[in-house]
Structure 1
C-alpha cells in the first residue's frame, strides 16, 4: 500500500494536471498597482508554474478587492497555493486559504477540478494524522479541508478510525487548543467563521471510544456539552 506521504504527492501532481489547461494558459490579470508592480501582474498573467513562490504566498493572503477578477486568479493559482499549503511552505493561515477558496467560487468550478482538489484533501488528512509532531498542527489542516468542503463529518470519521499513537497525540494537542478559555463552546472555523464547528465537534468527541481522551480533557468536554 502506498504510504500517506506518497499518496499526497500523487494527489498534488494530479491536481496540477487537471488544472493545467486553465492555470498554464496566459490570462490578463488586473490588480492593485499600489501593492503589485507591473512585473508582478505580468508574472501572474503567465503560466502559473513560473510565478515566484513569494508572489503565490501574497496572492493566497491578499484580500479579494485587490484584483479585477479575484475568482479567476485564485482558481488559476490554486494548484500552486494548495501545494505550498499542504507541504507547510505557504505560511498563510489555513482558515484564510479556505475562506479565499470559497470567495473564489470553488463550488462552481468544473467537476474534475473540484474532485481533484478534494482528492488532495483526502490524501493530506491521513498524511497529517500519521505524522507526529508533524510540520504543523492538524487543527489547521482540519480547518482548511472542512471549511472548503462545508463539512466536518468525513474528516472526523477518518480521525476516529485512525487508531495510531500519532493520531491520538494530535487529538490531545487539538483538545488543548479547543479547550483553552472555553473556545470549544462556540468554535467557528474559517477566517470569516463560515463553519460553526462546536456542535459537531462536541458530539463527535463524546462518541469516541473510552480512553481515547484523557480524563481531565474529557471532564472539560462534558462540562461544555452539558452546561
Structure 2
C-alpha cells in the first residue's frame, strides 16, 4: 500500500518530468547585481537542476523586482523550489511562495505542469496530515496550497475526512495559531493578503463534529462566529 509520503515523492518526480519536457531552451537572466554575483546569475541562467539549493532558496522568497524576468525565472525553478519546500528544507515563506506563484502566472503554464503542481500540493497536504510533527505545521502548508489554488474548501474537506492522530494534533496547533491575536475573524493568508480566510475557517470549525475541538478553543470559536 502506498503511503502518503511515498505519494509525495512520486508527485515530486512527476513534477520534475513535467517541467523537463520539452528540453529547456537557452535562458538569459538579469538580476540585481548588488544582491547577486555574476557567477550566481550565470548559475541561474544554466540548467535549473544544477542551481545550488541555497540559490534556489533565495529565488523562492526574493522580491520580484530583483529579476529582469521574474515570471520566467520562477517558472523554471518551481520544481526545485517546491521540492525544497515540501521536504522541509525551506522553513519560512509559505505565504510568499504562494503569492509568488500567482505573480509568476502559474495558472497560464502548460496544463501538464499545472496538473503536476496540483498533484504535489494534494500529496503534500495529505502527507502533512498523516505525520506529526512532520517537516512543517499544517498552517503553513494550508496557506501555500490554498492561496496558490485560490480555494480553501477542498483542503479543509480533506482535513475533515482525515481522522489520524496527526491530523488532530495539527488541528490543535492550528487553533493555537489562529486564535492568537489579532484573531481568526479577519485572518488573511498570502504574502499579499490575497485570501480572506477567517470567515470560511470559522464556518468549517463550527461544522466539525463534537470532540474534535477542545472545550476552551470551541468556546472562543463560537464567540467569534456568533458575535
CA RMSD of aligned residues (A): 1.1
Aligned pairs, number: 227
Residue in 2 that maps onto 1:211: 211
Are the equivalent residues in 2 in contact too, given 1:97–1:144 (CA < 8 A)?
Answer: yes
Which residue pairs with 1:110 in the alignment? 110
- Give SS of 2:134's match: coil
Is the contact made by 2:91 and 2:136 (CA closer than 8 Å) also made in structure 1?
no
Contact 1:11 1:123 in 2 (8 A): yes
8 Å CA contact 1:8, 1:127 repeated in 2: yes
Structure 1 residue 92, shift from structure 2 partner? 3.3
1:147 corresponding residue in structure 2: 147
* Bigger share in helix: 1
Contact 1:70 1:104 in 2 (8 A): yes
Q: Is the 8 A contact 1:131 1:166 kept in 2?
A: yes
1:76 counterpart = 2:66: no
Q: Structure 1 regions of 5+ residues with no counterpart?
A: none
Runs (5+) with no aligned partner, structure 2 = none
Q: CA 1:5 to 1:75, structure 2 compared with 1: closer, same or farther past 3 Å? A: same
Q: Residue 190 of structure 1 aligns with which residue? A: 190
- Cα distance between partner residues in 1 of 2:22 and 2:97: 20
**165-174 or 14-23, which deviates more:** 14-23
Paired with 2:22 and 2:171, the residues of 1 have a C-alpha distance of 38
Q: Displacement, 1:135? A: 2.0
Tell me whether 1:31 sits opposite 2:31 in the alignment: yes
State the alpha-carbon separation in 2 of the partners of residues 68 and 82 from structure 1.
22
Matches within 5 A, 1:45-56: 45-56=45-56
Q: Return the offset for 1:26.
A: 3.3
CA distance in 1, matches of 2:182, 2:209: 23
Q: Deviations over 1:164-220 (max 9, x none)?
A: 111011101100110012420111000110110011101100000111111110000
TM-score by length of 2: 0.97
TM-score (normalizing by structure 1): 0.97
Corresponding residue for residue 57 of structure 1: 57
Distance 1:71 1:215 in 2: 46
In the aligned structure 1, how far is the partner of 2:192 from the partner of 2:23?
Answer: 27
Tell me what 1:179 maps to.
179
Work out whether residues 56 and 81 of structure 1, in 8 Å CA contact, stay in contact via their aligned partners in 2. yes
